[in-house]
Each structure stands twice: as C-alpha cells, then as structure tokens.
Amino acid sequence: MTLRSPETSADPSIIQDGSGPREPPHVVPEGDPDREDPVAVSMGELRKSGWYWGNMSVGEAKERLQDSPEGTFLVRDSSHTDYLLTISVKTSAGPTNLRIEYREGKFRLDSVVCVRSRLKQFDSVVHLIQYYVLLSKNKKLESETLPNRTVHLWLVKPLYTSTPSLQHLCRMTVNQYTAKVNELPLPTRLKGYITEYRYQVEVLYLGFCQHTCPSLRCGGILGGSHN
C-alpha cells in the first residue's frame, strides 16, 4: 500500500485532505442495551496485543521508531481529538503516522477522499493491523521515496511495549495453524485463553515460539498461566 506524506501541520500525525474529520471515533451503537460496545471490545483485544502504547506523543513515537527497521510499527492514542488511534510506522522516509478511522461500526485507515471508499473496513483494530501485516508479508520493502511525496508503507513487525509472554506467543502460533480451536484436544480454559485473542500478527519472536512449542504442542506452556 502507499501513503501520501502529510504536509507540516499543527499535529504532524494528521494527514490532511481538506475535508476535516468525518466523525468522532467512539460512537456507541443504539439498539440492544446488552450488546457489547464494539469499540470497547476492540480496545480490549488491542491491549492484549502487546504493541498498543496508549498515550504517546508524535515526538515520542518518532523517537521509539527512529532506529528501527523499515516496517516496524506501533499503535497509540491519536493526538487528534476526533480520532481514537494512530499507527506510527517506520518508512523509507522515516517515521510517519496514519490515523485509524471509526465509522458506522467499522475501522479503516484514514485517507484522502478519492480512495476512502475503496479501503477495506474491519470489525476490530487488531484485525485491521493483521490484514495489512499479511498484505506486506511477501512484499519487498522499498528503500526509495516515490514521486509526488508518496512512500511505500508496509506493516512488517510490531514494536512491543515489553517482551511478549511465551503463552501469548504460543496462542498466536495456534491461531496461525488453525481457526478450529474448539476442536483441539485442549482443556476448555486453554481454548478460552486462545480464542480471546484470535489473531496471528507476525512477530519477531515467533520463530522462537515455534522452536519452543512447534506446531500445536503448546498445551504445557499455555497451561502455565492458568495454574
């Protein structure tokens, strides 16, 4: 995917398209009062990911990513009051920022008007990130800035707030191999632990996890967090 680098503004994380913000990020759906708020559910998943940095300024994100390889990214709270979250990512032109828009119960990347309707929409932020990580997986990182201030933007490796637990890494490995977790010969509580985070965002440590608990043989390690 590509990203048009923003012009300098009061908030460097804002990609300006002249139209202004479309909608506040957090709109509680009307209807069934027992229905879980999709934003709250999505934020719960995001906090489990290990690469949500919470309240972080543009400058702090840039400092964290400055010496990282291209494609390294993190998710933080947006400094724009009308948006909930921002992806900060290291590109060939340096760290840059892209807001996540929440509209009509769906998350998508913020973009210029002419392409907004073509962007995929997702039920959760982690699902959105996973889609673009997998999209970037087999693409070669570009090292040169393209014409008209456009650069390639690949999401390759998340920047973790701390080293992920072995249980979490094994959970992602299980999700990488199967979507039928409930059919696995595992205790019910382990299945619950795996399914509460259904994603498989590629991580730097995944090779270590697969070496430690290859294929689906994660039961012992996963069980360690539930004793």
CATH of residue 93: 3.30.505.10
Q: Please, which pLDDT band fits residue 200 given cuts at 50, 70 and 90?
A: low
Region of 196 (left: φ > 0; alpha: ψ -120 to 50; beta: rest) is: alpha
Tokens, residue 211: 């070496």
**Does the pLDDT at position 24 exceed 90?**
no
**Does the pLDDT at position 13 exceed 60?**
no
Same domain, yes or no, for 25 and 83? yes
Identify the domain containing residue 222 by its residue range: 166-226
Q: What is the mean pLDDT of the chain?
A: 72
Same domain, yes or no, for 58 and 153? yes
C-alpha–C-alpha distance, residues 4 and 133, integer Å: 19
Same domain, yes or no, for 121 and 217? no
C-alpha–C-alpha distance, residues 193 and 5, integer Å: 40
Which of 140, 158, 176 is the C-terminal boundary of a domain? 158
Same domain, yes or no, for 17 and 115? yes
Number of domains in the chain: 2
Same domain, yes or no, for 180 and 73? no
Provide φ and ψ at 48, rounded to 5°.
-75, -20
**By percentage, how much of the chain surpasses pLDDT 90?**
29
Same domain, yes or no, for 151 and 170? no
| Adjacent-strand bridge partners of 109 | 100
pLDDT tens sequence across 75-122: 999 999 889 999 999 998 899 999 999 988 999 998 765 566 678 899
Angle between helices 38-49 and 125-137 (to 10 degrees): 50
Task: Select from 70, 88, 71 the least CA-distant residue to 79.
Answer: 88
Q: Which residue has the tokens 């994380």?
A: 13
Provide φ and ψ at 220, rounded to 5°.
-65, -45
Same domain, yes or no, for 195 and 87? no
Cβ-contact 131, 48 below 8 angstroms: no
**Does the pLDDT at position 206 exceed 50?**
no
**Does the pLDDT at position 217 exceed 80?**
no
C-alpha–C-alpha distance, residues 112 and 124, integer Å: 21
pLDDT tens sequence across 163-180: 777 887 787 778 777 778
**Does the pLDDT at position 74 exceed 70?**
yes
Which of 130, 158, 186 is the C-terminal boundary of a domain? 158
Cβ-contact 169, 206 below 8 angstroms: yes
Same domain, yes or no, for 206 and 139? no
State residue 32's pLDDT score: 53
Same domain, yes or no, for 141 and 117? yes
State residue 20's pLDDT score: 38
**Does the pLDDT at position 71 exceed 80?**
yes
Question: What number of other Cβ atoms are within 10 A of residue 14's Cβ?
Answer: 22
Question: What number of other Cβ atoms are within 10 A of residue 60's Cβ?
Answer: 13
State residue 211's pLDDT score: 40
Provide φ and ψ at 218, rounded to 5°.
-110, 0
Same domain, yes or no, for 37 and 57? yes
Which of 142, 158, 174 is the C-terminal boundary of a domain? 158
Cβ-contact 178, 134 below 8 angstroms: no
State residue 184's pLDDT score: 85
Same domain, yes or no, for 45 and 111? yes
Same domain, yes or no, for 118 and 186? no
